A and B are shown apart, each in its own frame.
Chain A
């Protein structure tokens, strides 16, 4: 399995951990000293980050049925380090009925390949996505002009 396939597989574990409410499976995708820079909550680093992630996700899985859709835009690998970015669409459904809540976030992850050849997340950061939009007309025309003049 090449490195990109291995990271795709690790992201699948990440997704399935959320979708099955399996905290240990989720934590297995993160490195021991990872940095958690998730949006809207305080940042944590190292051992604390894993403990806080465990606590947050235990609470999340107790409160909601979770569905995560992962959209990986790109994975880039440089030796034993890699990064990927894309979107996480998280739907939280109250277990006893009620309207589900869906949020879509843009994420960036830094990966490190361990001595056991497993890829794990070293840094995670995300922010809330906004609806897609085309650039304003004047930016579009300036970009087209730039592309033409470079040919």
Chain B
């Protein structure tokens, strides 16, 4: 008999489920929940899509100079934060 599980518990476990890092008992509870809950199924599919995108390196062809711009922006933001924390 599969024990009920709440949507909130499902959301907490979705990444573990996608990584196959849940016990067989929890997997059964999650899968029973997905059958009846369109909301959690949508969250699962969304999370699954993100994992697929991350695995597919070609999707993330970054423009030239992106890394430098990102690094500079992070540095600027950190410097601003440090200045604010001094005052």
Q: Which A residues are within 8 Å of any B CB, using their own CB?
A: 4-5, 8-9, 11-12, 15-16, 69-75, 84, 86-87, 89, 132
Contact = CB atoms under 8 A, between A and B. Distances in A.
A69 B36 CA distance: 6
Contacts of A86: 6-7
Contacts of B1: 12, 16
Interface of B: 1-9, 33, 35-39
B14 to A, nearest CB: 15
Nearest to B36: A69
Given A73-B8, A74-B8, A8 B37 contact: no
Contacts, number: 44
Contact of A73 (B3, B7, B35, B38): B7
B61 to A, nearest CB: 29
B36 A9 contact: no
A68 B2 CA distance: 13
Contact of A89 (B5, B9, B36, B39): B36
5 contacts: A8-B5, A12-B1, A71-B7, A75-B8, A84-B6
B1 to A, nearest CB: 6
Contacts of B9: 4
Contacts of B39: 132
Contacts of A89: 36
Contacts of B5: 8, 72
B7 A72 contact: yes
Contacts of A132: 38-39
A8 B3 contact: yes
Nearest to B29: A8
A9 B7 contact: no
Nearest to B6: A72
Nearest to A84: B6
Contacts of A74: 6-8
Nearest to A69: B36
A12 B4 contact: yes
B7 A70 contact: no
Nearest to B3: A12
A71 B3 contact: no
